[in-house]
Amino acid sequence: MSSLIVELGDRSYPIELGTGLLAQPQAILPFLEDRKALIVTNETVAPLYLDRLRQSLSSAMPGTLVLPDGEAHKTLDTVSRIYDALLSGQYGRDCVLIALGGGVIGDITGFAAATYQRGIGFMQVPTTLLAQVDSSVGGKTGVNHPLGKNMIGAFHQPLAVIADTDTLCTLPSRELAAGLAEVIKYGLLGDAPFFGWLESNLDALLALEPSALTEAIRRSCVNKARIVALDERESGPRALLNLGHTFGHVIETALGYGAWLHGEAVGAGLCMAVDLSCRLGWLKVADRDRAIALVQRAGLPARLPAQLRAEDFHRLMAHDKKVRSGKLRLVLLKAIGKAVVAADFDPAKLDETLRYYCRDGQG
């Protein structure tokens, strides 16, 4: 087991990474401190890992709540089911929620924890690659709205992140690829050597080679923890973590939540971001091509469904959380490993990228 710390003063917490952690009581019980706990999971993860976690925490006698699976259920209605379980079970302000699952479970459980009785503790026990490298770290919680992804939420840091890499062995190939989108993002935005490592080791990651997976997760978490420690509430450099996400969130919202996995949309969004960066003259053609090639090798879509139009992007980008004074800000690249948040880009170049990827009028 390896450990690193997200440095946030009195809200600092560890990320524990290793094999077999769900079966190790000492990995989780110390964070409960004899408090009443409720495990929140979904219908896909529960048959695989709920009993293992409950047995590990048997001395704490945690309750359980099994929710429907999928991005379509990342709603306030689903969060209300968590509130119902907490209230009917007489869980007090000193209780702890345990999010066992992927990014959706982590986000909605964290949001419930942030808002139940004005804030209770929670732990992240991520079971997907995307959650282990990204969504479980940093304290972003929330739900979707029909007009925009993650528009309702709160910053609420977990007590700990317990990432058991054994859970990735049951991950479908599509979910694995979705997680790799976030891994690739970290190389592109601020870690060029890591991007090179990914180019050399992608086949090992796709084959679920344990040492390669552990290294990819560790490097991703190190990169995210460093940025979160600098900017917990996204007033500055943390916005860089949204590379590919402004485009990706439009894809998810326009297609309907769940039609594409979040990581699939981010993968296509990364391609659009590097394409625009290249059209602006900021990124070399060779580097654009390297980035797109790695996204495609990971099994992620590099093109969009035919029904998406440039107008969809213009309309939905207006609701993006990075809009300031009515001006859209995008995370773009000056080089592999050097991302910037830009509002002064040529809008005509954005239109070129949108028309190219949406194929408006091009069949």
Enumerate the active-site residues.
Answer: 118, 140, 182, 224, 234, 238, 242, 245, 249, 262
Question: Does an H or E element contain 227, and which?
Answer: helix 210-230
Q: What is the DSSP string of 332-360?
A: EEEETTEEEEES-S-HHHHHHHHHHHHTT
Whether 73 contacts 102, CB under 8 Å: no
Residue 104 CA to its chain's centroid (Å): 9
Q: What is the largest CA-CA distance in the chain?
A: 63
How far apart are alpha carbons 240 and 227 in whole angstroms?
9
Q: Which residues contact 34 (CB under 8 A, 6 or more apart)?
A: 60
C-alpha distances (whole Å) from 45 to each of 106, 136, 344 are 12, 16, 44
Q: Which residues contact 359 (CB under 8 A, 6 or more apart)?
A: 304, 306
DSSP state of 282: S
Question: Does an H or E element contain 4, and which?
Answer: strand 2-6
Give the number of other CB atoms < 10 A from CB of residue 8: 15
Whether 25 contacts 59, CB under 8 Å: yes
Q: Which residues contact 273 (CB under 8 A, 6 or more apart)?
A: 243, 244, 247, 330, 331, 332, 333
Residue 103's nearest CA partner among 47, 148, 150 is 150
Q: Which residue has the tokens 């739900």?
A: 143
Q: Which residues contact 338 (CB under 8 A, 6 or more apart)?
A: 190, 192
